[in-house]
Amino acid sequence: MSIIAVVLFSFLSAWAWNEVFLRFARRLGALNQGIPNQRRWDSRKKPIIGGIAFFVVALGIGAWKPADLQLSRALLAGAAIAFLTGLADDAYVSVPYVKLLGQLSAAGASIILGGPLLTISPMPALSVLFTLFWYVAVMNALNMMDNMDGIAGSLTLIFLLSSFWLLPQSPHLLLYLGLAGAVGAFLLRNFYPSHLYMGDNGSQFLGFVLAYWGTELWHAPIAHTADNWVKVLMLVSLYSLLAGDTFWVSIMRLIVRRNPFSGGTDHLTHRLAQFGLSPRYIVVLLAAVQGLLVLGTGLLLRSQPAEWGFVGVIGLVGIAIGAVHLSYLLPIIHRTKSFSPPISFSLRGSEGERV
């Protein structure tokens, strides 16, 4: 009963906050941003305030304190810092290093306050460093995937709902399911064609929550018998859609001598759209893949040995994403080499150009 109440409260609260913020943003231009120089496929001006509702819902659940919820200071403090980091970036378009500092601060606060560590070594320092890397990687991966209507929200929704399957004993189960309700309400306005974006305030907040979710899975009963290196494979496999896109985009940009930390319409979602798939179909396709990754992770953890299954999943997803990127890039490289006499041809460009 408490689960239904929390999810319903979160959904209705987020829906109401989004409607209020949406009207406020349209009337006063608050946080309204056209995105001609960023990574988004749709460059029209829309409010980027969707993440505010996520943060408000999390605070509301924490203040409500349902009987089955144990909200840790580590999760709350880190999520608050992540949200404020994204909000500042939305308002002031900060340089990447400032965002990185905010991400490290969020992760550091969580660790200092007793948040779970990814214990890859008996040496605590190595585990702390690996955990810091994990938070930064997941937060940036989700931020980079927030490039097309409904994508980041749908993938996040799959992760949060999978708490039933992978983290049924988590003390934060109600919070995760409540946030799932809030993300569901957001998708009503973010599914193609969208009326608002979650913004960096939303992607940083949800990215931190998903990273914390992963640290809980590391220590969950379902994974307690696995060796540490198998747990690393487990996380890479489960997050392989996010990780694979980030990895291949970085590789492709390095090949064409672009800054891998810049933005652009060269992500998996953009490549699929350039192949003719509609934004709605892309969302459904990637959400289905993430659902299969969640299902496969649970099944592999319940079977022994699981390591070769995780390796297979990582390889399959990585090769599939790489094939999509390479099939777009190789003809371009071939055309540039066949030009005679040589001409200046650069795939560099400001963030968000169609390359």
Closest CA to 204 of 158, 138, 254: 138
Question: pLDDT per residue over 122-149, tens digit each?
Answer: 889 999 999 999 999 999 999 999 989 9
The answer to whether residues 157 and 163 touch, using CB atoms and an 8 Å cutoff, is no
Q: Which two tokens stand for residue 138?
A: 């997941």
Q: What are the C-alpha distances in Å from 152 to residues 122, 140, 242?
A: 35, 12, 10
- How does strand 46-47 pair with strand 32-33? antiparallel
The torsion angles phi and psi of 47, rounded to 5 degrees, stand at -65, 140
Instruction: Give the domain ranges of the chain.
Output: 2-338
Q: What is the pLDDT of residue 69?
A: 82
Strand boundaries in 6-51, DSSP class E: 32-33, 46-47
Q: What is the pLDDT of residue 342?
A: 43
| Ranges of the chain whose pLDDT falls below 70 | 1, 26-44, 94, 329-355
Where helices occur in 220-239 by DSSP H, the ranges are 228-238
Q: What is the pLDDT of residue 341?
A: 44
Q: What is the pLDDT of residue 32?
A: 45
Q: What is the pLDDT of residue 35?
A: 42
